[in-house]
Amino acid sequence: MEELHRPEIRDIVVHNGHYYIIIVASIISFAVTQIVKPFIKDKLDSDKASAVTRIFAVVAGAIIGWSIEQDIIDLWLGAAAGGVNAFIMKLLKKKAKAHLGVAETPAPVSTPASKSDKD
């Protein structure tokens, strides 16, 4: 009977670059998620859209983290940054709604920029 392959355990040296990976992955994950969010909301109901948006933030963070140094630890750091980003945004939105006393995020009011936009 064959023995199971055991992965090699190696020491991971945390360096300053890992801190930058977390910051960069978090910022870019936030930006990309905000760009994609309206398209997700158009296609899905609100509960599914929220879940898909958060999953997208984690996956985007993982891809961004891995793309910086192509190491597995960077992938996990990027995924963690995307997850923390999604979590913090959810908390901030919840606190803002509670402070304002609204149940749903109000739709932005669009006003014409000039007289020619009215026509």
Transcribe 22-86 into DSSP letters: HHHHHHHHHHHHHHHHHHHHHHS-HHHHHHHHHHHHHHHHHHHHHHHH--HHHHHHHHHHHHHHH
Better-scored residue on pLDDT, 74 or 14: 74
Give the span between the Cα atoms of 76 and 21, in whole angstroms: 10
Domain-located, residue 108: no
Residue 113 belongs to some domain of the structure? no
21 occurs within a structural domain: yes
Q: What are phi and psi of 35, to 5 degrees?
A: -70, -40
Give Cβ neighbours of residue 84 (< 8 Å, ≥ 6 apart): 26
pTM: 0.67
> Is the residue at 114 inside a domain?
no
Structure tokens of 77?
């750091």
In a domain, 8, yes or no: no
Q: How high is the pLDDT of residue 113?
A: 64
The Cβ of residue 66 has, within 10 Å, a number of other Cβ atoms equal to 20
pLDDT for 58: 92
pLDDT tens digit sequence for 15-63: 677 888 888 888 899 899 889 988 988 888 888 988 898 899 999 999 9
- Averaged over 49-78, what is the pLDDT? 88
Q: Which two tokens stand for residue 10?
A: 């190696």
Would the pLDDT of 6 be above 60? yes
Return the pLDDT at 116: 63
Determine the structural domain holding residue 45 and report its residue range: 16-101
Our count of domains for the chain comes to 1
